[in-house]
Amino acid sequence: MSRWDADVAVIGLGAWGSAALWQLASRGVDTIGFESRRPGHALSSSYGGSRMFRTTCLEHPGLVPLARRSGELWQRLEEEAGRRLFFPHGGLLIGPEEGVVVGGTLRAARTHGIEVRTMGAAELRERFPRHTGVPGHHLAVWEPSAGLLRAEDSVRAATGLARAAGARVRTDTRVSAVEAVPGGVLLRTAEGGTRVRRVVVTAGSWLPALVPGLPLRTLRMPLTWFRPAADDGSFDLERFPVFMRETEEGPVLWGNGREGGYEVKLGLEGYGPGARALDPEDDGERSVRPEDWTDVARMLPGRLPGLEDLPAQVAVSLFTRTPDGQFVLGPLDDDGRIVVAGGCNAHGFKHATGIGEALADLATGRTSEITLGFLSPGRFGRTAATASPMERAL
């Protein structure tokens, strides 16, 4: 009898973990997945109904090949799951020409030959009349390949396909410790120990507790949904697609139109170096506060008129941030028994399928076709981290 309970375990079945489990199981790997609650639960970093997909990765030029591969795999996930997960209605990136959003988008497009189109503020207003108050010197970049992903549906689809391919999934089971043992890894839970040859740790906000020493901080991300004042269809996703809009004040306003029973989703990406670290177990940090929606609401009359004054729904999601704004993805040491992936920095969902494939490659000793060494966890131990352009600007 084998002394191993599985060849590979995946801890945390959010967007990244469920995709890794799907990839591993579809290759015939003896795999077991652990989820502390249920896939797609409301405390996950993958919660929120929708996420933006774009290929023009303004955060780092090395992410573009990963985004392209992820787009291919999102299509495969849709086909195998038999449900629609991606809505390719295009996307808008708005701001000053040399700013973080537009400048980074155009650099990525030029470097990698991505089809985009620029338009001035007047043309933007003509084509997308709900976007008002854009300064005359700002530009909009239209990316046809962008679109909206269904968040929780994607997690459940990947987990379901993994199960169908033979993966064992243990829900409502929290892994409390990950320990290297001779030849493998021991995972401790309340039910006892599980021994595996290798483990992939994608625990989101709980990653710092399982893998101490990684420079990760857990932050709050308020999410708001607003109803249109008039039901004329102008805020439907087809006419009000996913967008990021750099404001004169600094924060980036982002969102998407109505889709699948959800109202207009909006948020602010403007966390700064003073943001405090949080304990994901502190339920008080999940409580909604007035400041979670008032800053967004104050922006709407001059920028997105036509929405009701008060949000229809407010929720709080948590995510992890690294010092340089890039993911942490790779083995912890040379033997590769423990592979980690985290630090989504609030822009990791769109890459989930590609990251899942990369994690499956790492866990099975394959060489990935995409260069991701710049995401190695070891980079923080060798050099001082520097802030990314997005981090410096926000």
What is residue 310's predicted lDDT score, i.e. its pLDDT? 96
Comparing 384 with 77, which gets the higher pLDDT? 77
C-alpha–C-alpha distance, residues 238 and 171, integer Å: 36
Q: Which tokens hold the place of 50?
A: 């929708």
- Is beta strand 138-143 parallel, antiparallel or unpaired with respect to 184-189? unpaired
Asked whether the predicted pLDDT for residue 382 surpasses 50, the reply is no
What is residue 273's predicted lDDT score, i.e. its pLDDT? 42
Q: For 298-322, what is each residue's pLDDT tens digit?
A: 999 999 999 999 999 999 888 999 9
- What beta strand segments (E) does 151-241 contain? 168-170, 175-181, 184-189, 192-201, 217-226
Q: Which tokens hold the place of 191?
A: 């039910």
Asked whether the predicted pLDDT for residue 99 surpasses 70, the reply is yes
pLDDT band at 280 (very low <50, low <70, confident <90, very high): confident
Q: What is the pTM of this model?
A: 0.93
The residues, any chain, with a CB within 8 Å of residue 180's CB and separated by 6 or more, are 186, 337, 338
Asked whether the predicted pLDDT for residue 274 surpasses 60, the reply is no
Of 267, 236, 239, 253, the residue nearest 303 (C-alpha): 253
Of 249, 244, 339, 192, the residue nearest 52 (C-alpha): 244
What is residue 278's predicted lDDT score, i.e. its pLDDT? 75
Locate all alpha helices (DSSP H) within the chain, ordered by sequence. Answer: 15-26, 64-81, 100-112, 121-127, 151-164, 207-210, 291-303, 352-364, 379-382, 389-393
The DSSP secondary structure of 294-361, one letter per residue, reads: HHHHHHHHHHSTTB-SS-SEEEEEEEEE-TTS--EEEESSTT-SEEEEE--TT--GGGHHHHHHHHHH
C-alpha–C-alpha distance, residues 181 and 88, integer Å: 46
Q: Which tokens hold the place of 294?
A: 């008032």
Of 392, 68, 359, 99, the residue nearest 244 (C-alpha): 99
pLDDT band at 391 (very low <50, low <70, confident <90, very high): very low
What is residue 321's predicted lDDT score, i.e. its pLDDT? 92
C-alpha–C-alpha distance, residues 164 and 168, integer Å: 9
Q: For 22-31, what is each residue's pLDDT tens digit?
A: 999 999 999 9
